Chains A and B, each alone.
Chain A
Amino acid sequence: MARRFLTAEDVRRANAPEIVVEEGTVVTPQALEVAAAAGIAIRAGGGAWKEPPPDRGPDAEAMPQRLPQLPEPRDNPALESAAIVTAVGKNRPGVLARITAEIAAQKGNVNDVSQKVVEGYFHMILTVELEPGASFETFKTALECLSSPEDFAVRVMNERLFRFMHRV
């Protein structure tokens, strides 16, 4: 196993114009400072040392194989990025149109709609399938931006949350 760290003390002790470390070595910020002040170059793998990705250990290496195998309550893996949109507010003409227009603009496909109006307030739930590769966050932000305190409120949640919570 390669050395894990290069410390300021190591740099001082090396007393050389160049220090070569194995890839994956963490050079401490203090070591970098001392090296820079003394004009010492720290190299790894043929070039200047760059912070390596964190080595999370043997268990982490096994995780990519392990995680997908954990049972997940889903019947359609294609729905990986589906969203549940809920909206509540005062009922007025064009509310549904405004929300669905934004969903369409975000290239979402509405799979299911349910709407109720009780005493002048509407309550709407939409299940929306996102385009493969579409960013959930962009979709969520775009939809939630439609909310205004005096009109209606939109909330977007990931469908996976509901699967976990309500399906065994």
Chain B
Amino acid sequence: MSFSDREILETVRMVELETLDIRTTTLGISLFDCADPDLESACEKVYAKVVHHGKDLVRVAESIAGDYGVPIVNKRIAVTPIAWIGAASGAEDLSPFARALDAAAREVGIDFIGGYSAYVEKGFSRADRALIDSIPQALAATEHVCSSIVLASSRAGINMDAVARFSAVVKDTAARTADRGGIGCAKLVCFANAVADNPFVAGAHVGVGEPETVLNVGVSGPGVVRSALARLGPEADLLAVAETIKRMAFKISRVGELVGREAARRLGTAFGIVDVSLAPTPAEGDSVADILELIGVDKTGAPGTTAALALLTDAVKKGGAMASSSVGGLSGAFIPVSEDAGMIRAVEAGALSLAKLEAMTAVCSVGLDMVAVPGDTPASTIAGIIADEMAIGVVNHKTTAVRIIPVPGKSAGETVEWGGLLGTAIVQDPGRYGCEILHRRSGRIPAPLQSYRN
């Protein structure tokens, strides 16, 4: 088979100049067989199983990156929600599991391990409660462990008791990592309609209905789409814009499909899904905000942003769906504020408010991601922000998430540096009005009606 020079140079350019990469290869490992009435034995099994299955992951990912010339940025492991595994032990504090996961992650040399998780959209089991209460301690004591809690679903509604408890956990986690700008919260996320095969942290875990072990891949490539739109120019009509994004998303996703198949083959495991997401990094040009601005808004957050993002997310999904029969995970466009240089610029310029960001999450693939608020924001206000985001997901039958960091000692407008992939954030103002009474009411917001959808 021969390729034209144009095709070959396009691929080389994507990798060399437009930061095309495989954002993550995530090995999912079921831990159901690790449940044990003895807490110590259960942790021992968890450690042994993760190391046993995960020890080749980094080597395989690196050999594929070498063979195909496409960087694989992160190697991660996702496991069965620990609340389900820890239940058999009856322990009040499940943080020993977090330490076992952290030790295993260090041993196999991966970046993050996701699955310190629980599903509580309708109510708590004893283990769910124990897990949630132990999150601040677990995240402060570990480096690689990520925690996710499912607070709502379109079938169950929103568990407001869980929202309240979760927002207290967020505050506590921030306080315990106050010396590092509350960074513990960057490893903590809550979901509505969580997906069981998400390869991206902090929400990665292996839900029910997943194989014993499974290899999922998350692709990236905002830089590729951005350059293609820059070449297309401002005169092209919106169908041409959508078409260009689709084509690029197709090409990016094909790389994910190739790497996923190859990684699964070399590891001897089942291949799960390709998560077709535009995941930005703080690197210049690797930005979703830049894409929105190329589509035609002055600054991200200006009127028209939600429409542009809707077009982008949909076109990415369409291109991805053609490229792989196993599209899954979150698939769409991520808008993590601190991890996207363009988003930071928009916040700095005063163009992107928290309210506009929330509107954008109705059409993006995740939700309020890596948003910094003042450290003295009341738990009730954080609960309100989370409940709003959950409501968007529940009513629209989509996945939404909140990863919010109340930065200790900082007030609105100040900057916080987390470094690395987590980037820099400007503390955003949640407004001066709260929702104390809503917060104090306990119970659940019922599931929405499926018909009469207006």
Most buried by B among A8, A63, A70, A84: A63
Contact with B along A55-83 (1 / 0, CB 8 A): 11111101100010010001110010000
**Does A157 sit within 8 A of B, measured CB to CB?**
yes
Asked if residues B44 and A8 are in contact (CB atoms below 8 Å), the reply is yes
Q: Indicate whether A42 reaches chain B with its CB closer than 8 angstroms.
A: no
Q: How many residues of B contact A (CB 8 A)?
A: 51
A5 and B1 in contact, given A29-B47, A63-B271, A161-B69 (Cβ under 8 angstroms)? no
Smallest beta-carbon distance B239→chain A, Å: 20
Contacts of A155 in B (CB 8 A): 12, 16, 69
| Complex: A140 Cα to B264 Cα, angstroms | 23
Secondary structure of the A contact surface, majority rule: mixed
- A80 → chain B, closest Cβ, in Å? 12
Chain B interface, DSSP helix/strand/loop, else mixed: helix
User: How does the 8 Å CB contact mask read for B255-276 relative to A, with 1 for contact and 0 for none?
Assistant: 1011001001101111100000
Interface residues as binary, B23-54 with A (CB distance below 8 Å gives 1, 0 otherwise): 00000001001101010110011011101110
Known: A84-B8, A161-B258. A9 touches B41 (CB 8 A): yes
- B125 touches A (CB below 8 Å): no
Q: Are A156 and B69 in contact (CB under 8 A)?
A: yes
Contact call B68/A161, Cβ cutoff below 8 A: yes
Is A59 a contact partner of B49 (Cβ separation < 8 A)? no
Judge whether A112 is part of the interface by a CB distance below 8 angstroms. yes
CB of A157 within 8 A of CB of B69, answer yes
Chain B: which residue is nearest A75 at the CB level?
A: B1
Distance in Å from the Cβ of B14 to the closest Cβ of chain A? 8
Residues on B with C-beta less than 8 A from A160 are: 68, 258
* Known A59-B211, A63-B271, A67-B261: A165·B255 in contact at CB below 8 Å: yes
Q: Would you call B53 and A114 a contact (CB within 8 A)?
A: no
Q: Is A100 among interface residues, defined by CB-CB distance under 8 A? A: no
Known: A56-B212, A57-B211. A5 touches B269 (CB 8 A): no
Q: Determine the distance from Cα of A29 to Cα of B257 in the docked complex, in whole angstroms.
A: 35
| Residue among B45, B66, B258 making CB contact with A5, cutoff 8 Å | B45
* Known contacts A63-B265, A137-B67: A56-B45 contact under CB 8 Å: no
Cross-chain pair count, CB within 8 angstroms: 145
Question: A23 vs B383: C-alpha distance in the bound complex, in angstroms?
Answer: 51
CB of A56 within 8 A of CB of B5, answer no
In the assembled complex, B235 has its CB within 8 A of some CB on chain A = no
Give the residues in chain A near B450, CB-CB below 8 Å: none
Q: Chain A 103-119 against B: per-residue CB contact (8 Å), 1 yes, 0 no?
A: 00000000110100000
Say whether B1 contacts A161, CB under 8 Å. no
Q: Kindly report which residue of chain A lies nearest to residue B51, judged by CB atoms.
A: A29
A59 to chain B, nearest CB (A): 4
Pairwise interchain contact A161-B269, C-beta atoms closer than 8 A: no
Asked if A8 and B69 make an inter-chain contact with CB atoms under 8 angstroms apart, the answer reads: no
Q: Are B66 and A57 in contact (CB under 8 A)?
A: no
Query: Is A164 a contact partner of B34 (Cβ separation < 8 A)?
Result: no
Give the Cβ gap from A83 to chain B, nearest Cβ, in Å: 9
Tell whether A76 pairs with B255 under 8 Å between CB atoms, given A156-B69, A157-B69: no
Q: Distance in Å from the Cβ of A55 to the closest Cβ of chain B?
A: 7
B424 within 8 A of A: no
Number of A residues near B (Cβ < 8 Å) is 53
Nearest A-chain residue to B16, judged by Cβ: A155
B265 contacts A5, C-beta separation under 8 Å:
no
Selected from B3, B211, B212, the residue in CB contact (under 8 A) with A166 is B3
B251 within 8 Å of A (CB atoms):
yes
Q: Is A7 an interface residue (CB 8 A)?
A: yes
Residues of chain B lying within 8 A (CB to CB) of residue A60: 211-213, 268-270
Asked whether A165 lies within 8 Å of B47 as measured between CB atoms, the reply is no
A128 within 8 A of B: no
What residues on B are CB-neighbors of A114 within 8 Å?
5
B34 and A161 contact, CB distance less than 8 A: no
Distance between Cα atoms of A30 and B69 in the complex (Å): 39
Judge whether B70 is part of the interface by a CB distance below 8 angstroms: yes
- Complex Cα–Cα for A84 and B9 (A): 11
B212 and A55 within 8 A (CB): yes
B192 at the interface (CB under 8 A from A): no
Question: B136-171, CB under 8 A of A: which get 1 and which 0?
Answer: 000000000000000000000000000000000000
Chain A proximity mask over B205-223: 1 for CB below 8 Å, otherwise 0: 0000001111000000000
Chain B residue numbers with a CB within 8 Å of A76 are: 1
CA distance A136 to B40 in the complex (A): 45
Which of B9, B68, B270, B322 interacts with A57 by CB under 8 Å? B270
Tell yes or no: B177 within 8 A of A by CB: no
Contact of B33 with A4 in the complex, beta carbons under 8 Å: yes
- Chain A residue nearest in CB terms to B40: A9
Whole-angstrom distance between the Cβ of B46 and the nearest chain A Cβ: 9
- Given known pairs A54-B52, A63-B268, A165-B254, the reply for A125 and B8 (CB within 8 Å) is yes
- Given A56-B270, A164-B258, 10 more contacts at CB 8 Å? A7-B44, A7-B45, A26-B48, A67-B261, A76-B1, A111-B2, A161-B68, A161-B70, A164-B255, A165-B251
A-B contact pairs, 6 of them (CB 8 A): A26-B49, A26-B52, A63-B264, A67-B271, A164-B258, A166-B251
- B residues sitting closer than 8 Å to A (CB atoms) are 1-3, 5, 7-12, 15-16, 30, 33-34, 36, 38, 40-41, 44-45, 47-49, 51-53, 63, 66-70, 211-214, 251, 254-255, 257-258, 261, 264-265, 267-271, 322
- Identify the 5 closest CB pairs spanning chains A and B, nearest first: A57-B212, A59-B270, A157-B69, A28-B48, A59-B211
Chain A residues packing against B (C-beta within 8 Å): 4-5, 7-10, 26-31, 51, 53-60, 62-63, 67, 70, 74-76, 79, 84, 86, 111-112, 114, 125, 127, 136-137, 140, 155-168
